[in-house]
Amino acid sequence: MMRTLYFDCFSGASGDMINGALLDLGVSLSALKEEIGKLSLGEVDVETRPVHRCGLRALKFDVRVGHAHQPERRLSDILELIGRAPLPEPVIDMACRIFRRLGEAEARAHGIPLDRVHFHEVGAVDAIVDIVGACLGFHLLGVERFTSSALNVGRGMTSCAHGPMPVPGVATAELLKGAPIYSTDVEVELVTPTGAAIISTVCHSYGPLPTMRLERVGYGAGTRELSERPNVLRLLLGEAPVQDRPLPAIGERVTVIEANIDDMSPEILGYVMERALAGGALDIFYTPIQMKKNRPGVLVTILSRTEDRERLIDLLFRETTTIGLRYHEVERRCLHRRVIDVSTPYGPIRVKVSYSGDRMVNVAPEYEDCRIAAQKCDVPLRTVMEAAMTAFAQSAGGESGERNE
């Protein structure tokens, strides 16, 4: 069985509707505030209030931005802000994937380079809080699989910074490519770009409500009050059977950036690695090489998403002694991964499990969790790692080998 969240989008979806519904499902508002406070956004707060939409009770989620100036932020600024926040790793990874998808859709929709996409002041703060808040909610609820109904996008025209736009908006339409959408007689925008970015990033399937053992139902309210229907998003959380169809490994194109260096202190290379990972690098590693004049050197290799390439190239030129580098695109394939918590005598430890289709192929305790526990309990690191593996093997997930995406 897999902990499954179903988006019932009979009246569309937005970032505030998703967060309201998650809080209605049982996510702690105080925990959400505490984690969002780690984003260093300044005078920003969130609040909820119960409302009624066509007689249906729901929670309205609002972001309150103080009077302090909020800068205009580009996609790279937002990714860096999220990446350096002390949030759980799965939350950072998911939030950055959603924002990258949103930025790419905006770039395609308006015909501009990705590095020119920017999010205006308060609107950027709303999007950051909505997206990170949603990812935190998913994490706190332990959601393992996401699925959605077809999305009611509304119809007519809407206003934005670029002027009047048809519904669905151009960025929303880009984001929902491949997803089932429909329209009724409601003359309003029902799916926002933020809502579309969240759902289209996390959901791997769309359709009717799947068979599940239902545990909780949450309702998140939209800002508008509609006479035709309750303007709410419904989330249903429960345990659903593992999909029969094995999922393929995830394929994507990435950029490999390389530079040969033979005249720089290893101390600086350590710093470069920290900066590269904080700047969005998927991976960075060093390989010993023999260069001309028999000098021992280092081959610096960075794996990067396309949109992060120029920033990481600039980092190498600024922080290293290289006067030239090379880059090329490659295809990579990654196994589906699941991160679960296990209880050990030394405290909770996260365990990463990788799957190829239905087959479990690798299990590894999270090093940082084990390191901290070993130091805290004054025991060898390998003792903690062995305890985590034993706890995983004894858990239901370890015994059944169920796959979580």
- Torsion, Cα of 364, 142, 201, 154 (10° steps): 170
42 and 102 in a common domain: yes
Does any domain span residue 139?
A: yes
**CATH code for the domain of 383:** 3.10.20.300
Q: Looking at the 3D structure of the chain, how many domains does it have?
A: 3
Of 196, 214, 240, the last residue of a domain is 240
**CATH code for the domain of 318:** 3.30.70.1380
Of 184, 215, 240, the last residue of a domain is 240
129 and 197 in a common domain: yes
pTM for the full predicted model: 0.63
377 and 295 in a common domain: no
Answer whether 55's CB lies under 8 Å from 230's CB: yes
How does pLDDT run across 145-176, given as a tens digit for each residue?
Answer: 999 999 999 988 776 655 677 888 888 999 99
301 and 318 in a common domain: yes
pLDDT given for residue 403 in this prediction: 37
How does pLDDT run across 65-112, given as a tens digit for each residue?
Answer: 876 677 778 888 899 999 999 999 999 999 999 999 998 888 887 788
* DSSP letter string, 21-40: HHHHHT--HHHHHHHHGGG-
Does any domain span residue 405?
A: no
Structure tokens, 93:
């990874």
Does any domain span residue 120?
A: yes
133 and 182 in a common domain: yes
Q: Are strands 145-148 and 2-8 parallel, antiparallel or unpaired?
A: parallel
226 and 256 in a common domain: no
Does any domain span residue 29?
A: yes
98 and 130 in a common domain: yes
316 and 196 in a common domain: no
159 and 52 in a common domain: yes
167 and 37 in a common domain: yes
269 and 232 in a common domain: no
H helices then E strands: how many in the chain?
12, 20
pLDDT given for residue 336 in this prediction: 75
User: Crossing angle for the helix pair 121-141 and 89-110, nearest 10 degrees?
Assistant: 140
Q: In Å, how far are 120, 150, 394 from 184, measured between CA atoms?
A: 31, 12, 51
Structure tokens, 287:
């390989």
267 and 118 in a common domain: no
CB neighbour class for 162 (10 Å; exposed up to 12, middle 13-18, buried from 19): exposed
- Torsion, Cα of 291, 275, 314, 99 (10° steps): 130
CB neighbour class for 221 (10 Å; exposed up to 12, middle 13-18, buried from 19): buried
Structural domain that includes position 396: 336-400
- The percentage of residues in the chain with a pLDDT greater than 90, rounded to a whole number, is 57
Is-cis flag, bond preceding 365, omega within 30? no
Of 277, 303, 334, the last residue of a domain is 334
pLDDT at residue 57 above 90? Answer: yes
pLDDT given for residue 119 in this prediction: 72
